[in-house]
Amino acid sequence: MEEVVYLDNSATTRVAPEVIDAMVKMMEKDYGNPSSLHRMGITVEKKINKAREQIAKILGVKPKEIIFTSGGTEANNLAIRGVVYQYNKRGRHLITTRIEHPSVLNTFQRLEEEGFEVTYLPVDREGFISIEELKSAITPETILVSIMHVNNEIGTIQPIQKMGEVIKEINPRTIFHVDAVQSFGKLSLNPIQMKVDLLTISGHKIHGPKGIGALYCNEKINLKPLVEGGGQEWNIRSGTENVPGIIGLGLASQLIVKEREANVERLKDLKGWFLKELKKLIPDVKINGPESVEDIKEGKSAPYIINLSFPGLKGEVLLHALEDFNIYVSTGSACHSRKSAPSHVLQAIGLNQRELESAIRISLSFHTQKEELEYLLEHLPDLVVELRNLMQR
Amino acid sequence: MYTDILIRYGEIGLKGKNRKTFEKILVRNIKECLRDLGQFNVERTYGRIYLRQVDGLIDQIVERLARVPGIVSLSPVVKTGLDMEEIKEMALRVLEDALPDGGTFKVETKRANKNFPLISPEINRQVSAHLLINFSKELKVDVHNPDTVVFVEVRSEHVYLYSKVIDGPGGLPVGSSGRGLLLLSGGIDSPVAGWLGMKRGVIIDALHFYSFPFTSERSKEKVIELAKVLARYSGKMRLFIGYFTNIQKAIGLKCPERLHITIMRRMMFRMATEIAHRYNAKVLFTGESIGQVASQTLESMEVINAVTNIPVLRPLITMDKTEIMDLARKIGTYEISIQPYEDCCTVFVPDAPATRPRLKDAEAAEKDLMIDQLIKEAIERSTVLIITPDGVEAEYSLAEEQGVML
């Protein structure tokens, strides 16, 4: 196979050709500033609003509830800080989980330094948060709960709607933020129904460009802006709009939801088949996250994220060995010169040292074909055996 | 204020005839190390080197030149005409720069230009008087132990004034002592060892062992970054990327685990010796320091060194880690070295490496290795990069490249 087998789609995705064309056109032809008073500005403004409508429609919300940002990280920062600085008179208690993306976790750690009290909910061995623990963590002082929808490393899908109901039942004034970077466009999302007030999405995880994301913000909520300036995006996020990025994100969101259900069903089967074959070939493989066929079918585990450990070798070495076959995956931990910094997510679900250092993540897209996973299965078992012999640990 | 930089290179251990060669090499190295800052006019006169018209870049240039082997010291200088009033005025500004809060000083004049109407003591007197009258802060003359000295050099066409003297590394200009091959790992130590070799005038070629997939592409990029920094001191350098994967695999499969590191190092030395012979390097340089890791005990060194017959120089051998780190910071490699990418010295560290291997055990452990064949194949699959401070200038495979001389 001469082609690239790209299985790192949770890190980033290939930009769709239609998206590239649309973005290039914007840069060549519609290069006006949407804030300009003349026709060239108005043309661009209209296109931005169309992209806003496209995204709003997918989420079943109002266009004016969509704020464009530089990406998922900024949207998470804006959601959390924007709420906390605006509503800290109501209380100083916040809730999140131990398996969030660093853009959420590090923001909360900074807020702890600023005197806020943060509860970090633990997860079970499959990465699920207990609804009971969430219930007992909410107090009258709780102003914000931030929980991710799909975990980027192990694919666990939290029961967001149940959580939203529980939160609003105990404290209707508690604001609920969901990081949906890994689920937007792939799983159905309805913030209103899910009782979610703020929701983060990102362009480059859905075959759109990098450097663009958006935050859904319920119109009843006021956010303290992080960026001051010319007052774009209703004064919540100033700065001349990233026009090509916004157009790219709008179009990418249209393209990805087109055949969504069919694609999800296909990937569920594909993931189930892959794990079954893998266990035959490598009996002692450990699957991290929800692993049963039922979990995949019932929507407890994302059909496009697979996290595996091969105790006895190093994930990074396996990653590089796969590279030689043009197969691209990612690891569960970043290697350091004398020690590895294991993933906080894998630690939270209770992996031991050998499982931590040998983890790799395979992440699919709606374009992933069975042949590609077959090609992976052709090489993976041999490599695992060979590397284990060499590493002898 | 300062217009030029005066560079002193002492008597670089200079023997009559060689002096010119040394000076030429040093001037070339100075230009090379400032290349990205611009083209400077460099003049050699009376056993000194002047860098002209450096206004505005003084601090950057001084910081760089202070690390160039062969330079003993430098001073930013002010140039004036042969006119006492102008000299006094500039002397005042030099002193204000050197003693912003006041203190003690003296003036010291050298009159190389014997046609200048005043003799040195007279110039000292007149300049000192002017400074004492016009200096805004507390000021006293102290001829024995002054806080600062204002130097006045009267030359045929100009007068130079300065007070600051910044030490350089001394040593010999790179290129005046032959060629050595440095084993460059990507850690903190080996770049420092290479720089110390350069400090004694040695042209350093570097060899990095690359062991994909056990080490990543990024570890190679890191070593290229280190080589770019080292190339600042010599202008250009060769960086061999030694293909080590199959040797690593063979060791992993055929040798007892506790001796992996010992045998890996022996293979590295064998390969380095072969490359050194091909490229006319007379010695190997390593960043070893006694007892730092398992392979750097005296017992390990004896067993590892036994495979080669060319001198292995270890400039850091008696230094502590903290001393090495200070040097690394000084030469600008530290920040790059601490990036967390594994090299083949760290991926394969067994749980209990032998710290006191015995030669006969190592030899016995190697009996199943096809040593010559492995080395030959590894060299054929290696590449050489030509590195300048700006990046990679060229790349060859070792099989096709036959000693492109630098």
User: How many helices and strands (H and E) does chain A possess?
Assistant: 14, 15
| A37 touching B (Cβ < 8 Å) | no
The predicted-structure confidence for A267-322, as pLDDT tens digits, reads as follows 999 999 999 999 999 999 999 999 877 888 888 999 999 999 999 888 989 999 99
Q: B39 or A106, which is more confident?
A: A106
Mean pLDDT of B300-328: 95
Both tokens of A84, joined, read: 């906390």
**Cβ neighbours of residue A390 under 8 Å, at least 6 residues apart?**
B248, B249, B252, B253
B239 is in an annotated binding site: no
Both tokens of A248, joined, read: 């790219």
> Is A217 part of the annotated catalytic residue set?
no
Residue from B243, B347, B381 to probe the interface with A (highest A Cβ count within 10 Å): B347
Predicted TM-score of the model (pTM)? 0.82
Mean pLDDT of B17-44: 84
Q: How far is CA B228 from the centre of its chain?
A: 12
Per-residue pLDDT band for A338 (boundaries 50, 70, 90) equals: very low
Q: Identify the pLDDT of residue A388.
A: 87
| A118 touching B (Cβ < 8 Å) | no
Say yes or no to pLDDT of A175 above 90.
Answer: yes
Q: Identify the pLDDT of residue A335.
A: 45
Which range has the worst mean pLDDT, A256-270, B100-114, B344-358? B344-358
Q: Does the beta-carbon distance from B187 to A393 stay under 8 Å?
A: no
Say yes or no to pLDDT of B350 above 90.
Answer: no
B339 is in an annotated binding site: no
Q: How far is Cα A340 from Cα B115, in angstroms, rounded to an integer? A: 72
Q: How far is Cα B148 from Cα B154, in angstroms, rounded to an integer? A: 19
Q: Does the beta-carbon distance from B213 to A321 stay under 8 Å?
A: yes
Residue B139 identity: L
Q: B18 or B281, which is more confident?
A: B281
Say yes or no to pLDDT of A334 above 60.
Answer: no
Q: How far is Cα A242 from Cα A249, in angstroms, rounded to an integer? A: 10
Query: Which has the closest alpha carbon to B149: B116, B178, B103, B107?
Result: B107
Work out whether strand B148-154 and strand B203-210 pair parallel, antiparallel, or are unpaired. unpaired
Contacts of A335 in chain B (CB under 8 A): 340-342
Give Dmax over CA atoms of chain A in angstroms: 70
Q: How far is Cα A170 from Cα B61, in angstroms, rounded to an integer? A: 66
Q: How far is Cα B112 from Cα B109, in angstroms, rounded to an integer? A: 9
How deeply is B343 buried, as exposed, middle or buried, from its count of CB atoms within 10 A (0-12, 13-18, 19+)? buried
Say yes or no to pLDDT of A265 above 90.
Answer: yes
Say yes or no to pLDDT of B129 above 70.
Answer: yes
Q: How far is Cα A44 from Cα A35, in angstroms, rounded to an integer? A: 9
Q: How far is A310 from chain B (nearest CA, A)?
A: 16
Say yes or no to pLDDT of A344 above 60.
Answer: yes
Say yes or no to pLDDT of B322 above 80.
Answer: yes
- The whole-chain average pLDDT of chain B stands at 89
Mean pLDDT of B51-63: 84
Q: How far is Cα B168 from Cα B62, in angstroms, rounded to an integer? A: 9
Q: A341 or A227, which is more confident?
A: A227
Contacts of B344 in chain A (CB under 8 A): none
CATH 3.30.2130.30 intervals, chain B:
4-167
Q: Identify the pLDDT of residue A392.
A: 59
Instruction: Report the CATH architecture of A17-253.
Output: 3-Layer(aba) Sandwich (3.40)
Say yes or no to pLDDT of A54 above 90.
Answer: yes
Mean pLDDT of B279-295: 90
Indicate the residue of B216, B248, B249 with minimum beta-carbon distance to A316.
B216
Say yes or no to pLDDT of A72 above 70.
Answer: yes
Say yes or no to pLDDT of B347 above 70.
Answer: no
Query: Which has the closest alpha carbon to B163: B138, B133, B131, B117?
Result: B131
Say yes or no to pLDDT of A381 above 80.
Answer: yes
Q: Identify the pLDDT of residue B18.
A: 75
Per-residue pLDDT band for B180 (boundaries 50, 70, 90) equals: very high
Q: Identify the pLDDT of residue A14.
A: 97
Q: How far is Cα B320 from Cα B324, in angstroms, rounded to an integer? A: 6
**CB atoms near residue A60 (< 10 Å):** 12
Query: Which has the closest alpha carbon to A336: B335, B336, B346, B287?
Result: B346
Per-residue pLDDT band for B344 (boundaries 50, 70, 90) equals: very low
Q: Identify the pLDDT of residue A283.
A: 94
The answer to whether the beta carbons of residues B6 and B162 sit under 8 Å apart is: yes
Torsion of CA A285, A286, A287, A288, to 10 degrees: -150
**Cβ neighbours of residue A118 under 8 Å, at least 6 residues apart?**
A93, A94, A95, A96, A108, A109, A111, A112
Say yes or no to pLDDT of B181 above 60.
Answer: yes
Per-residue pLDDT band for B44 (boundaries 50, 70, 90) equals: confident
**Cβ neighbours of residue A187 under 8 Å, at least 6 residues apart?**
A149, A150, A157, A264, A299, A302
The predicted-structure confidence for B73-101, as pLDDT tens digits, reads as follows 999 999 999 999 999 999 999 999 999 88
Domain B4-167 has CATH 3.30.2130.30: yes
CA neighbours within 13 Å on the CB side: how many for B228? 14
CATH T-level topology, domain A5-12+261-388: Aspartate Aminotransferase, domain 1 (3.90.1150)
Q: How far is Cα A251 from Cα A55, in angstroms, rounded to an integer? A: 9
Say yes or no to pLDDT of B343 above 60.
Answer: no
The predicted-structure confidence for A182-201, as pLDDT tens digits, reads as follows 999 999 999 999 999 999 99
Per-residue pLDDT band for B182 (boundaries 50, 70, 90) equals: very high
How deeply is B168 buried, as exposed, middle or buried, from its count of CB atoms within 10 A (0-12, 13-18, 19+)? buried
Mean pLDDT of A225-247: 96
CA neighbours within 13 Å on the CB side: how many for B286? 18
| A314 touching B (Cβ < 8 Å) | yes
- The whole-chain average pLDDT of chain A stands at 94
Residue from A335, A338, A387 to probe the interface with B (highest B Cβ count within 10 Å): A335
CATH T-level topology, domain B179-403: Rossmann fold (3.40.50)
Mean pLDDT of B157-172: 91
Q: Identify the pLDDT of residue B402.
A: 57
- Peptide bond between residue B76 and the one before it cis (omega within 30 degrees of 0): no
Say yes or no to pLDDT of A85 above 80.
Answer: yes
Q: How far is A337 from chain B (nearest CA, A)?
A: 5
Q: Identify the pLDDT of residue B116.
A: 92
Selecting among A285, A335, A377, A385, the annotated active-site residue is A335
Q: Identify the pLDDT of residue B57.
A: 86
Q: Sketch the domain layout of chain A as residue ranges.
A: 5-12+261-388, 17-253
Both tokens of B106, joined, read: 């003296």
Residue B83 identity: D
| A356 touching B (Cβ < 8 Å) | no
**Cβ neighbours of residue B24 under 8 Å, at least 6 residues apart?**
none
